[in-house]
């Protein structure tokens, strides 16, 4: 049943959102824009998928620069380019590591012959920087399909990024599970017909994750269990391939029982 895992990147593979916030603020400072996003404000801004779109929306909604809409759109792209450079500099400096359980789950999937994908609104340069600085120089070879903002312009909650990832991997949604961390990410994966596991963090713990099969605070490790926030962990204490297979099997059983109930009417 389970043929592939697709991971979101920021906040899912690594707890990068605080580093992103710092990079945004550093870029604003370099461009002399009187703006500093605090943690609570940034939490709200995450409802806008994509860093460039986040800057653009903020500048359009706040009278920080005396520019036309077209000029603000152009400026947002320039600021975001510099912000991304600052973010990658922080990654290289070792300011972020993988979240608990991520490396273990990826290695389990590779060992068991499952395909791995990444579906992100970030750039391929950011993906490469994160993977190489956390999983090693050959990390990209572990992933069979990586879809970024260069491939898909429609941002989450649009299902496009997951639809492209499924096509790259050559798998159907019922044989795949997505690991996400945000409301928009959950909506995107579910919109593509993929079951989701959610790992929350400071910026997304209060998000609406309706439709997710399991919501936990982290993937967990043997001896360091996750906390279940919603859904059924089916007796497991950390996310592993066996749990993911059980989740898909449990859904199939539920569908079969639902069909039998309809036929019995």
The ranges of the chain annotated as CATH 3.40.50.1000 are 4-15+98-263
Question: How do strand 176-180 and strand 145-147 relate by DSSP bridges?
Answer: unpaired
This prediction has a pTM of: 0.86
Q: How far apart are CA 39 and CA 205, in angstroms?
A: 13
Task: Tell me the CATH architecture of domain 17-92.
Answer: Orthogonal Bundle (1.10)
For 25-60, how does the pLDDT look when each residue is reduced to its tens digit (9 = 90+)?
999 999 999 999 999 999 999 999 889 999 999 999
Give the mean model confidence (pLDDT) for residues 234-246.
97
Residue 261: pLDDT band by 50, 70, 90 thresholds? low
Q: How far apart are CA 260 and CA 167, in angstroms?
A: 32
Q: How far apart are CA 26 and CA 150, in angstroms?
A: 24
Residues annotated as catalytic (active site), given as ranges = 8, 10
Q: Which positions ≥6 away from 67 have C-beta within 8 Å?
A: 75
Predicted confidence (pLDDT) at residue 259 exceeds the cutoff of 70: no
The ranges of the chain annotated as CATH 1.10.150.240 are 17-92
Evaluate whether the domain defined by 4-15+98-263 bears CATH number 3.40.50.720.
no
For 100-110, how does the pLDDT look when each residue is reduced to its tens digit (9 = 90+)?
999 999 999 99
For 168-186, how does the pLDDT look when each residue is reduced to its tens digit (9 = 90+)?
999 999 999 999 999 999 9
3-state secondary structure of 222: coil
């Amino acid at each position: 049943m389970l043929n592939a895992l697709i991971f979101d990147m920021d906040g899912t593979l690594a707890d990068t959102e605080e580093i992103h916030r710092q990079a945004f603020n550093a870029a604003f400072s370099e461009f002399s824009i009187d703006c500093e996003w605090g943690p609570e404000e940034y939490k709200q801004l995450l409802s806008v998928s994509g860093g460039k779109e986040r800057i653009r929306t903020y500048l359009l909604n706040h009278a920080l620069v005396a520019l036309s809409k077209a000029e603000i759109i152009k400026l947002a792209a320039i600021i975001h380019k510099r912000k991304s450079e600052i973010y990658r500099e922080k990654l290289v400096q070792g300011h972020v590591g993988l979240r608990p359980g991520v490396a273990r789950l990826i290695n389990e999937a590779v060992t068991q012959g499952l395909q791995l994908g990444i579906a992100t609104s970030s750039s391929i340069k950011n993906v490469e920087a994160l993977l190489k600085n956390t999983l090693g120089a050959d990390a990209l070879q572990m992933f069979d399909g990586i879809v970024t903002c260069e491939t898909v312009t429609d941002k989450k909650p649009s299902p496009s990024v997951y639809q492209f990832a499924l096509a790259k991997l050559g798998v159907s949604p019922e044989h795949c599970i997505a690991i996400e961390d945000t409301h928009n990410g959950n909506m995107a994966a579910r919109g593509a017909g993929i079951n989701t596991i959610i790992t929350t963090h400071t910026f997304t713990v209060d998000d609406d994750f309706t439709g997710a099969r399991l919501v936990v605070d982290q993937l967990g490790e043997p001896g360091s269990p996750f906390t279940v926030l919603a859904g059924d962990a089916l007796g497991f204490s950390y996310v592993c391939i066996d749990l993911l297979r059980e989740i898909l099997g449990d859904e199939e059983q539920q569908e079969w029982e639902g069909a039998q109930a309809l036929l019995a009417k």
